[in-house]
Structure 1
Amino acid sequence: MMRGEAGLLADLEMLEIGFAAHEHAAVFTVAESDAVNADIPGAHTKNLFLKDAGGAFWLVTVPAEARVDLKALPAAIGCKRVSFGKAEDMERLLGILPGSVTPLAAINAAPGSIAVVLDSALAAAERVNVHPLRNTGTLGLAGADILTLLGHWGHEPQVASIPIQEPA
């Protein structure tokens, strides 16, 4: 059942999770996000929607500037070789479209349908900025509170040190 942004806001209130909400123009690229993010304090994120060779789906949230080493990632999170998931699978599982990917979309996902991974630096951050299921807004909340929400929705989030590529 897709609960969407209204369900998200209701859960934030019920769990007494504080957050900062920002509205902005739609952002689709890291460059467009950078322009918006300059005015928003805290850690910024990017999200990888992945499918492993065994058919399992993964949502991995990392710092915005990280270039994830996709070859080393499976060993770090415990899965098979990964590739990027298709937009139709994202929409079916998470109820969102590319460009609006966020760990908070797990509110729409059946427990067990997708594995959610948060980079360890973000999990420890006081403020992590993520989309509220659309790319025209940003919610800033503590990494620990993202983990609380995921658990509340029946997911068992994994916190991992995500391998990044060294700059060339």
Structure 2
Amino acid sequence: MTETSTSAAPKTADDLFRFLDDLQISYSNKTHPPVFTVAESTSLRDEIPGGHTKNLFVKDKKDQYFVLTVEEHATVDLKTVHKVIGASSRVSFGSPERMLEYLGVVPGSVTVFGAINDTGLNVTFVLDEDLMTYDVINGHPLSNDATTSIGREDLLRFLKATGHEPLVLKVTG
């Protein structure tokens, strides 16, 4: 199996916002100093309401890729989550090279909004059921120096508009 790469530059936050505007999806965006971990981002909670996310870019042995989007403090058991998401084997973290190729982001910036860059539909996006209890869900707009807030139903609509059929599954313990 040969993997193909597109030569187009990854879409930016501005491209993402234009796409959301074209879909008539309302969102808000707040810029902040870059954050690389959940711990670093907790200082923003008072300023940005809603469900805050942690995103894991993982793959199975058959090179099926997944982004698992869960509530920031949730725990994902990487030894068993493959049974829930339909992977062919236990999952491991995807490489930074594939992350950039498929999602247009670097480590520390993985986001559900990376679906806009996955034009080859190489990645399955999985949203945790517990996260989907929030009316508003927050994620990085393709870089970790801002947080974009979007309604739960609008997030699903965004993913479908990128050609992805999101899976809403219980992936956390």
TM-score, normalising length from structure 1?
0.92
- For residues 14-35 of structure 1, what are the alpha-carbon distances to aligned partners after superposition, in whole Å with 9 as ceiling and x for unaligned? 1111112111110012111111
Spell out, residue by residue over 1:80-120, the C-alpha distance to the aligned partner (whole angstroms, 9 max, x if none): 21001111110111111111111001100124311111112
Distance (whole Å) between structure 2 residues aligned to residue 141 and residue 54 of structure 1: 33
Residue 114 of structure 1 is matched in structure 2 by 123
Aligned partner letter, 2:158: L
Aligned CA RMSD, in angstroms, stands at 1.3
1:103 pairs with 2:144: no
Q: What is the distance in 2 between the residues matched to 1:72 and 1:143?
A: 26
1:137 has 2:146 as partner: yes
Q: Hey, what's the Cα distance between the residues in 2 that align with 1:21 and 1:6?
A: 11
Which of 113, 137, 159 pairs up with 1:150? 159
Q: Tell me the CA shift for residue 57 of structure 1.
A: 0.8
Separation of aligned partners in 2, 1:29 and 1:96: 15
Q: Is the 8 A contact 1:104 1:133 kept in 2?
A: yes
The amino acid of 1:20's aligned partner reads S
User: Contact 2:80 / 2:90 at 8 angstroms: preserved in 1?
Assistant: no
Task: Specify which of 26, 41, 48 is matched with residue 33 of structure 1.
Answer: 41
Partner of 1:74, secondary structure, is helix
% identical aligned pairs: 41
Query: Is 1:72 paired with 2:80?
Result: yes
Q: Show structure 1 runs of 5+ residues with no match.
A: none
**1:53 to partner: Cα distance:** 1.5
- Tell me how far 1:61 sits from its aligned partner: 0.2
Q: Which residue of 2 aligns with 1:84?
A: 93
3-state SS in 2 of match to 1:139: strand
Q: Give the conservation status (yes or no) of the 8 Å contact 1:102–1:133.
A: yes
Q: Is the 8 A contact 1:111 1:154 kept in 2?
A: no
Q: Which residue of 1 aligns with 2:30?
A: 22
- Give ranges in structure 2 of 5+ residues lacking alignment: 1-7
Cα distance in 2 for residues equivalent to 1:14 and 1:57: 28
Aligned-partner Cα distance in 2 for 1:111–1:144: 24
| Greater Cα offset, 69-78 or 126-135 | 69-78
TM-score by length of 2: 0.89
> Given the alignment of the two structures, is residue 53 of structure 1 paired with residue 61 of structure 2, yes or no?
yes
User: What's the offset of the Cα at 1:67?
Assistant: 1.3
Offset from partner CA, 1:120-140 (integer Å, 9 cap, x none): 232342101100001010011
Q: Give 3-state SS (helix, strand or coil) of 1:13's partner.
A: helix
Shift of residue 12, structure 1, vs aligned partner: 1.2
Assess if the C-alpha contact under 8 Å between 1:43 and 1:127 holds in 2: yes
User: 2:52 aligns to what SS in structure 1?
Assistant: strand
* Letter in structure 2 aligned against 1:107: I
User: Judging changes above 3 Å, is the alpha-carbon distance between structure 1 residues 19 and 139 closer, same or farther for their aligned structure 2 residues?
Assistant: same
Q: Which amino acid aligns with 1:137?
A: A
